Amino acid sequence: MKKLLLFFLAVCLYTVGAAQNVTIKAVNQPAAVVFRSIIEQTGKNFVYSSELLKDMHISVNAQKKPLKNVLDDMFKNTDIEYKIKGRNIILKRRSLKQDAGLKPKRDSSLSVAMPSLEIPKMLDEVVVVSRLEAPAVETSEIGAKKLTAQEIINTPVMFGESDVIKALQMQPGISEGQEGMAGMHVHGGESDENLYMLDNVPLYQVNHFAGLFSAFNPEAIRYIDFFKSSIPAKYDGRLSSYLDVRTKNGSLEGHHGSFRLGLTSGAFNIDGPISKKTTYSVALRRSWFDVLSIPMLALVNSSDDEEKIRFRYAFMDLNAKVTHRFSNKASAFASVYFGDDILKTGSSDKNEPSYGLYDESKYDFHWGNLVVQTGFNYRFNTDLSAEFTTAYTRYFSTMESDTRQKDITPENIMETHSVSKTKNDINDWILRADFDWRPNNSNRVRFGGNYILHSFLPARTDRNYTVGTTQVQSRDSTWAYTANEANIYVEDDWHISEKFRMNAGLHMSLFNIDGKTDFGFGPRLSFSYRPVLNWAIKAAYARTNQYVHQLSQTYLSLPTDQWVPVTRGFKPQNADKISLGVYWQSDNKVFAASVEGYHKIMRNLIDYREEYYLQPPTAMWNAQLCSGKGTSKGIDFKFEKIYGKLTGHISYSLAWSDRTFPDKNGGETFPARFDNRHTINILLNWNISDKVSVNAAWTGHSGNRFTLLPQVWDSPDFGNSYTDDESPLKTRINNYQLPFYHRLDLSCTVRNKRGYWTFSLFNAYCHMNTVAIRRTYTNSNRPVFQKVKLLPIIPSISYTWQF
């Protein structure tokens, strides 16, 4: 009787779903466009392999027909079959077993039209999830972007290394900072004002090799979510943007993988089933820099030069994930990420002389991230689901120096030996719960919270200095801090009517450290009005808070950077941002355009004092800092072509960004380092055929700001005749603007039966851009300024073998 009742209910649910009426007219339109129209009318989700419908176009004409009849018409002359299961329409080949040639490829990911639905936890038929981005006119979000792994790969970059952050740099309102680096300065913010997450777990250091590559291995990525204006209430902790990178789940369909061999690195990934309900996914990437440097160093050190060079650099990323499905309602996963960088430099005289000076120096750097995470997903019913997560994350960096000098005379040998070790360490223990509730067809409520136990050790330095037989040891006065952070949030995405949509939320936080407690209040509100079907007008407000900050003495991402919490004497950073936007898409949904304006006010910003270097080494790190405020405003324009053989976008940004610190620049307002007034980005992807595609990316922007020192004064030598140090006289901060920056990057992908070749050119027309200004001297000892130019044209090639 019980089985009969269940069967009856299942039939009823299928009949109700299939009986929904659909009105649609499409002539040779992309499958994704047709699916989107059906989704709007029925509330269903399409679940399918992206390879299944690659480049597929559909023609259908239906006037208030049942959904089942429309689907029958769409797929009657194809090898595709469908099944309606609850809210999902699942598509697959009619019979994979009968046609071995239809075996799914490794990179065939699932496409799910509704962004947060975790389909793999409910269904047997699916392997991995990717998502179709909802057109901007249909949401209440401003400044949101969703990228798939394929979109990341389609952005040409240096050395052919596909990169999440460099793909986002082509979006309006985002600056790369230094040339070729994987940094982000979003709407006038600093690089530490972006929260980078891996499967919802924060990362502190996300760059390799001073920012040349990011820590996100594209072979491990399923999709990413990025927000810079209307921030979901779920996120807080940074002022400017939030990037959540989701990693792949393993496939139940078989073992698949790939191996990539490039000029600078290699990558290997594999995924597949462990059992009928358990899958695995492993991705590994490692650089070749240390291997390539061996012959070059041997050549350099074999010359007649008396100096011997020491250099070695390597980085790696490891992602591993195991997923187990207990039932259609419950699943669990465990994952590990480990990123590691090693840099060894130095020099020494080849031979110790019998008379004179002998120098030897060694510098070792080691830094990276470790993330260990477990999660449990449970679907209470068709309307309520939850994810419970525990995680441990660690960022570490160590810097060791060992310098030795001998002053050899006939009478004596005076040896000076200096050893130092600086350690920076952050450990976070995280508990998190997130709920997703759909009380009706018009509302979607998300709520949850987390607790984080932080442990900070900012830049503790131990020194050992020996002159002759005299030895001195010291340790900087740096304290370890323990902090408690708690966050709760709630938001409702309310589809009020066909014309109105609203998202309202609230994020509240608490941060306790060093005997003081700070509270954060973060209201979020976004509103959308559609006067006609293909136009939308939006407005948004968001307040964000930040309790940890990155202290950097350069504009590169280096292991010398420190992450420090807000302690006594400083307040948490916060920002208020107002955004307005107008959006359009063509009737056939192939073209789209947008105009977004914003105004952001930032408070309690932290930076080094102008003369921080005069502080003694034993001074507390926070004695070197000062606080101030900043503002940024601007307009972002974007026009894009979404479907077809030729896709891409062109964007233009007009922006202003400034800073005011009472203890800097005489208290006067000065432009931010990356106050780029004009920025133009053009990205084109041309699928010439099934085997060949070409990608082009051109970027141009007003030059970065730079502090040009017109005068310096000689530092006193205190009796040391070898001293030639100079100290700057006071001048206005960022008083000089570098020349206009522009660059073209190209890539071409050629596919064969087993994989594909990728050829790329960074800076294709070899425009040597100015990245800095340095002071030098002529032969007559007259000071002059010289432009510093770094990166010429850089070709690269790689091959990816798929199995």
In a domain, 592, yes or no: yes
Would residue 224 count as lying in a domain?
A: no
Asked if residue 492 belongs to a domain, the reply is yes
In angstroms, the CA 443 to CA 734 distance is 48
Choose one of 133, 167, 202: the last residue of a domain: 133
Provide the residue range defining the domain that includes 121.
Answer: 17-133
Domain count within the chain: 2
Enumerate helices (H) and strands (E) in the chain, giving the number of each. 6, 48
Neighbours of 662 (CB within 10 A): 12
Angle, helices 31-42 vs 67-75, to 10°: value is 170
Cα within 13 Å of Cα(241), Cβ side: 29
Task: Please identify, among 117, 133, 149, the residue that sits at the C-terminal boundary of a domain.
Answer: 133
In angstroms, the CA 485 to CA 598 distance is 30
Q: How far apart are CA 82 and CA 46, in angstroms?
A: 10
Q: How far is CA 16 from CA 68, 440, 605, in A?
A: 10, 17, 56
The pLDDT value given to residue 297:
80
DSSP 8-state symbol, 100: G
Say which DSSP state 558 is in: -
SS3 of 2, please?
Answer: helix
With helix as H, strand as E and coil as C, how does 680-748 read? EEEEEEEECCCCEEEEEEEEEECCCEECCCCCEEECCCCCCCCCCCEEECCCCCCCEECCCEEEEEEEE
pLDDT (0 to 100) of residue 115: 36
- Residue 751 CA from chain centroid, whole number: 28
- Which residue has tokens 């408690």? 484
Tokens representing 787?
Answer: 């432009």
Residue 259 lies in a domain: yes
Give the C-alpha separation, 367 to 191, whole Å: 18
User: Are 474 and 615 part of one and the same domain?
Assistant: yes
The one-letter amino acid code at 154 reads: N
Q: Is residue 229 part of a domain?
A: no
CB 371 within 8 A of CB 337: yes
Four-point Cα dihedral 64, 70, 73, 78, nearest 10: 160
Contact assessment for residue 271 and residue 280, using Cβ atoms and an 8 Å cutoff: yes
The CB density around residue 493, as the number of other CB atoms within 10 Å, is 20
CB atoms within 10 A of CB 683: 23
pLDDT at residue 773, rounded to an integer: 83
Residues 101 and 250 in one domain: no
**Structural domain contains residue 212:** no
Rounded Cα distance between 34 and 339, Å, is 42
Whose structure tokens read 């807080």? 236
For residues 346 and 399, the answer to whether their CB atoms sit within 8 Å is no
Residue 164: C-alpha distances to residues 207, 222, 391, 430 (Å): 11, 11, 23, 25
The residues facing 311 across adjacent strands are 345
> 775 φ, ψ to 5°?
-95, 130
**Domain with 566 in it: what CATH number?**
2.40.170.20
For residues 373 and 514, membership in a common domain is answered with yes
Helix/strand/coil (H, E, C) string of 4-35? HHHHHHHHHHHHHHHCCEEEEEEEEEEHHHHH
Q: What's at 11, amino acid-wise?
A: V
User: What does the block give as tokens for 461?
Assistant: 């330095």
Helix axes 2-18, 67-75, angle to 10 degrees: 70
Helices (H), 274-374: 289-301
User: From CA 235, how far away is CA 515, in angstroms rounded?
Assistant: 26
Q: How far apart are CA 216 and CA 339, in angstroms?
A: 9
DSSP bridge pairs for 413: 408
Cα end-to-end span (Å), the chain: 48
Q: Output the pLDDT for position 776.
A: 80
Neighbour-count burial of 225, counting CB atoms closer than 10 A to its CB (0-12 exposed, 13-18 middle, 19+ buried): buried
Q: Report, in this order, helix, strand and coil percent for the chain, each rounded to 5.
A: 10, 55, 35
Query: Domain boundary residue among 86, 105, 133?
Result: 133
Tell me the whole-structure pTM to 2 decimals.
0.81
pLDDT profile of the chain (803 residues), mean per 10: 41 44 75 75 70 71 83 83 78 59 38 38 36 75 87 82 88 83 85 92 86 85 91 95 92 88 91 93 92 81 75 93 92 95 83 70 91 95 93 93 81 82 92 95 94 89 81 73 96 93 97 92 96 94 94 67 83 96 91 96 89 58 83 96 91 96 90 92 92 94 84 48 49 87 94 91 91 79 81 90 91
Quick one: pLDDT at residue 77?
78
CB 334 within 8 A of CB 373: yes
- CATH number of the structural domain spanning residue 115: 3.55.50.30
Note whether 146 and 168 are within 8 A (CB).
no
Closest-CA residue to 120 (of 282, 329, 320, 382): 329
pLDDT of residue 177: 78
Q: Is residue 733 part of a domain?
A: yes
Facing residues of 365 across strands?
343, 399
Q: State the DSSP code for 275.
A: S
Query: What was the pLDDT predicted at 10?
Result: 45
Between the CA of residue 734 and those of 255, 380, 647, 691, 738, what are the distances in Å? 55, 56, 38, 49, 10
pLDDT at 97: 45
Distance, CA of 487 to chain centre: 22
Question: Is residue 308 within a helix (H) or strand (E), and if so which, with residue range?
Answer: strand 307-325
CA trace torsion 84, 90, 91, 92 (10° rounding): -110
Residue type, position 619, single letter: A
- Please give the DSSP secondary-structure letter assigned to residue 779: T
Coil, strand, or helix at residue 592? strand
Same domain, 445 and 313: yes
For residue 32, tell me if it sits in a domain: yes
What's the CA gap between 740 and 17, in Å, rounded? 57
β 256-262/794-802 pair status: antiparallel
